[in-house]
Structure 1
Amino acid sequence: MIESKALLDALQLRGIGLYTGVPDSLLSSFCAYVDDHAEAGRHIIAANEGNAVAIACGHHMATGQTSLVYLQNSGLGNMINPLTSLADAEVYRIPMLLVIGWRGEPGVHDEPQHVKQGRITKGQLDLLEIPYVELDASSDVEQVVQTAFDAISREGSPAAILVHKGAFVPYKTRRKLDALSSMAREEALGHLFDVMGADDLVVSTTGKTSREVFELRSARSEPQGDFLTVGGMGHTASIALGVAKGAPSRRVVCIDGDGSALMHMGAMAIIGQEKPVNLVHVLLNNGAHESVGGQPTVGGRIDFGGIAKACGYEAYHLAASPEDIAREWAGMADVQGPVLLEVRITIGSRSDLGRPTSTPEQNKQSFMAKASRVEE
């Protein structure tokens, strides 16, 4: 396996000026090492992958340096526009190195939402005409990095390193994040379920949140009728808006996360414009990308309440304890939505946390059956 230090040293030797991207579980050790050891001010955890490409473009134009953009392969979709219309050799010809975690690699077991993306990742890079080299646990780091930089030099535009599962020696960040609350996410979800109605339609965000929602329903012997957004990070609130518009007589509860909300924050502006009176937007905020390694977000340092109100939400409530959840939920009873309930939580989850045992299609069908029963 590869030491993250070896890769970072090889990149710094070749003059990488800035590191930016969205954390990925396969790259978590490398991302954590970069966060701990990159020169101050040279690492930016971006809101989304397209955001990272744009940052890299701007930094190159100001300095002439090549930046590194890291991501999970599912984030390629967020990058296609800036890659093809800005960085491409036929447009501005902006060099950058993409380091891509290869989830869903053919022949390697992974979750359903990663399988197709893994199968088409090489094809996407070929279609984008982005040269790439693969990195696995047995790779010669110097050779891989040099090959990628040779491609950047030839084309003057992006090249990629495609990283296999298990490539890096495990590394844990030394950064200590301030806890926003002492309440764990699973505990918060349980108290939210206590105050929700049995007929509420729940849409939960990707990562550990949906895994905990599924397991809590099983532990409470409650039907599995929630929509678990296992893919499409950042789009949970938009899905919930669509549900709220389609089922106006039902209360729709969107269980979002700070990383997800930040990824496509424009969704909040559209929710505020549309003003679905039946939508409660719950934002579980631990200030971290916990599901992919615990790297920090800016969620702990921004005013989500002010943002929500500026976007047109009718009300904002804040909770940081079980008692807060009960009190603030009761206080929302007579308020027409959209309402934002920010629930501040701590980082952490059970080591034995499982995954949904139903398929995504079964999950969709269960959700649609629950939605249709009362709407008919």
Structure 2
Amino acid sequence: MKVEDFVNILGSDFYTGVPDSQIKALCNYLIDTYGIDEKHHIIGANEGNCTAIAAGYHLSTGKVPVVYMQNSGEGNIINPVASLLNDKVYAIPCIFVIGWRGEPGVHDEPQHIYQGEITCKLLDLMDIKYFVVSKDTTINELEETMKEYENILKTGENVAFVIKKEALTYDSKIKYENDNEMIREEIIEHIVKITDENPIISTTGKASRELFEIRERNNQPHKYDFLTVGSMGHSSAIALGVAINKSNEKVWCIDGDGAVLMHMGSMAIIGNFKPDNLVHVVINNGAHETVGGMPTVANDIDLVNIAKSCGYTYAVSVDTFDNLDKELDKVKNMVGLCFIEILCSIGARKDLGRPTTTALENKENFMKFLEG
């Protein structure tokens, strides 16, 4: 189904969400049509944040908003759905559009398997009526469903469309880019070179995939790395837990700007405990690149001063490899909680692979390494 038909049938003029590759057609359409616009389209920090924005939109306009997300974001919406939107509380209507990663019977990555199994079960538990959109869904079927949904929304209840793989299409091509020169995979190569045998916790998405392939090219073991293949936004908290309990190890976290924004409160907790053996590296390309390249707000905020305000001992931003190497060498030998923002271009090589070890193997090898 063309995304233009999908949007017309939904009939809303306000969208907020966190981008996902499964609904890339919708994300690209919204960027093409509205860009980032406070009246029509806001990319939020996380899905719960988007749900609250949508509630504010309804309170101020009386209209029905749309919140879009990957199904991994359902966990983030449970609290505002249950304690804010629910018809037993404020009865705020909302349409959720959810990309169905890990759909049973469709091959996907390990972090999506269980989430895919419980996607519709979670909607049932939240009393959200849903309709599954596939490549075979007709405009007539969607129109009939939306007529039913309009009556449900009038009562202050929520509804959802669960989007299967390739269910929505958009013909226009959108190119996401910035003016930064450094390439993320090369950045990670520089980090790997300086970290030696220190443990690394890497964030969700292409950064972890690139780290895995760099180890393969270097004929290095993967035991040094914990690949946070799911749980976007939580790699820095995982690194904090490791750093506190392995104070004799220099612990590195390779993070992304979208992940940092998703759960930025972690930086305040890290800064409060101030582990002097943790280096928090944020590779900032101002984009949700792994799921398509849609923008984040990270280009418009000062992550270095945020880190300092949170209590990080040392914080710096770099945009060249010369400065990167100088800072990596400096923090390697520094005692104190360190933060490095690295300004990065958007893009990855097309033949980038995925880890060939299982998540369980990754965990067990990492734990054995830390024990040693």
The TM-score bracket by the shorter chain reads: over 0.9
CA deviation string 1:173-211 (max 9, x = no partner): 5465423x211100100011111132x110000010100
Please tell me whether the aligned partners of residues 240 and 253 of structure 1 are also in contact (alpha carbons under 8 angstroms): yes
- Please state whether the residue corresponding to 1:271 is helix, strand or coil: helix
Q: 1:204 aligns with which of 177, 202, 205?
A: 202
In structure 2, distance between residues paired with 1:4 and 1:306 = 40
Please report how far the alpha carbon of residue 218 of structure 1 lies from its aligned counterpart in structure 2 after TM superposition: 0.3
* Structure 2 equivalent of residue 29 of structure 1: 25
Distance 1:118 1:79 in 2: 16
Query: Which residue of the partner structure matches residue 18 of structure 1?
Result: 14
Corresponding residue number in structure 2 for 1:165: 165
- Decide whether aligned partners of structure 1 residues 364 and 149 sit closer, same or farther in structure 2, where only a CA change above 3 A counts: farther
1:274 correspondence with 2:270:
no
Query: Structure 1 residue 171: deviation in Å?
Result: 4.6
* Aligned equivalents of 2:172, 2:262: Cα separation in 1: 24
Q: Is the 8 A contact 2:16 2:42 kept in 1?
A: yes
Q: Distance in 2 between matches of 1:146 and 1:268?
A: 46
In structure 2, the residue matched to 1:73 is 71
Give SS of 2:66's match: strand
Match of 2:48 in 1: 50
Counterpart in the other structure of 1:60: 58
Match of 1:290 in 2: 289
Report the Cα offset of residue 117 of structure 1. 0.7
How far does residue 3 in structure 1 lie from its aligned partner after superposition? 1.4
The 1:95–1:126 alpha-carbon spacing in structure 2 relative to 1, beyond 3 Å, is: same
CA distance in 2, matches of 1:328, 1:9: 51
- The answer as to whether partners of 1:134 and 1:144 remain within 8 angstroms in 2 is no
Per-residue deviation, 1:301: 1.4
Provide the C-alpha distance between the structure 2 equivalents of 1:35 and 1:66, rounded to a whole number of angstroms.
20
**Aligned residue-pair number:** 367
AA partner of residue 162 (structure 1): V
SS in 1 for 2:87: coil
Q: Distance in 2 between matches of 1:133 and 1:303?
A: 41
- Structure 1 CA distance for aligned equivalents of residues 144 and 96 of structure 2: 14
Residue 335 of structure 1, CA deviation: 3.1
How many angstroms does 1:17 deviate by? 3.3
The answer (yes or no) to whether the contact 2:285–2:344 under 8 Å persists in 1 is: yes
8 A contact 1:96–1:152 mirrored in 2: no
| 1:144 positional shift | 1.9
SS of residue matched to 2:22: coil
Q: Can you give the 5+ residue segments of structure 1 that lack an aligned partner in the other structure?
A: none
TM-score between the two structures when normalised by the length of structure 1: 0.94
In 1: Cα distance, 2:208 partner to 2:171 partner? 26
Comparing 255-264 and 155-164, the one that deviates more = 155-164
1:178 is matched with 178
After superposition, the Cα gap between the structure-2 partners of 1:301 and 1:357, relative to the gap in structure 1 and judged at 3 Å, is: same
Check conservation: 1:8, 1:34, Cα contact below 8 A: no
Name 1:372's counterpart in structure 2. Answer: 371
* Alignment check: 8 A CA contact 1:33 1:171 kept: no
- Per-residue CA deviation, residues 248-294 of structure 1 (Å, 9 max, x unaligned), is 10010000000000000000000000000000000000000000010
Displacement over 3 Å in runs of 4+? 38-41, 170-177
Q: 1:369 to 1:244 in 2, by over 3 A?
A: same
TM-score relative to the length of structure 2: 0.95
Counterpart-to-counterpart distance in 2, 1:291 and 1:258: 12
Q: Deviations over 1:270-327 (max 9, x none)?
A: 0000000000000000000000010000111110001000000001122222211111
The AA in structure 2 aligned to 1:302 is I
Alignment gaps of 5+ in structure 2: none
Name the residue aligned to 1:229.
Answer: 228
CA distance in 1, matches of 2:99, 2:189: 33
Which amino acid in structure 2 is aligned with residue 46 of structure 1?
A: G
Residues in 1 aligned to 2:7 and 2:165: alpha-carbon distance in whole angstroms: 18
Counterpart residue number, 1:244: 243
Which residue identity does 1:366 align to in structure 2?
A: N
CA distance, structure 2, for counterparts of residue 107 and residue 341 of structure 1? 41
SS of residue matched to 1:134 = strand
- In the other structure, the counterpart of 1:122 is 120
Partners of 1:315 and 1:335 within 8 A in 2: no
Single out whichever of 33-42 and 271-280 deviates more from structure 2.
Answer: 33-42
Question: In the alignment, is the contact (CA less than 8 A) between 1:152 and 1:158 conserved in 2?
Answer: no
Cα displacement string for residues 309-348 of structure 1 (whole angstroms, at most 9, x for unaligned residues): 0000001122222211111122324532211111111011
CA contact (8 A) 1:201 1:252 kept: yes
Partner of 2:87: 89
Distance 2:143 2:241 in 1: 44
